[in-house]
Amino acid sequence: MSRRLFRALSLVTLAAVTVALIAPVARAAEGKAKKHEWTGTIAAVDAKAGTCTIQKMGKDQKEISKTFECAPDCKVTGAAAMADLKVGEKVTVTYTEQGGKLTCHAMAVKTPKAKAEK
pTM above 0.75, yes or no: no
pLDDT tens digit sequence for 94-117: 999 998 899 999 999 987 766 656
User: What is the mean pLDDT of the segment spanning 75-80?
Assistant: 85
**CA-atom Rg of the chain in angstroms:** 24
Position 95 scores a pLDDT of 96
Give the pLDDT of residue 92.
95
The reported pLDDT for the residue numbered 80 is 74
CA dist., res. 26 & res. 66, Å (int): 28
Using the predicted structure, report yes or no on whether residue 9 has a pLDDT greater than 80. no
| Residue 118 clears pLDDT 60, i.e. is over it | no
Per-residue exposure over 75-95, b if at least 16 CB sit within 10 Å of its own CB, e if not: ebeebeebeebeeebbbbbbb
Q: What is the pLDDT of residue 71?
A: 93
pLDDT at 15: 58
What tens digit of pLDDT does each residue of 16-75 get?
555 566 656 555 555 577 999 999 999 999 989 999 999 998 888 899 999 999 999 999
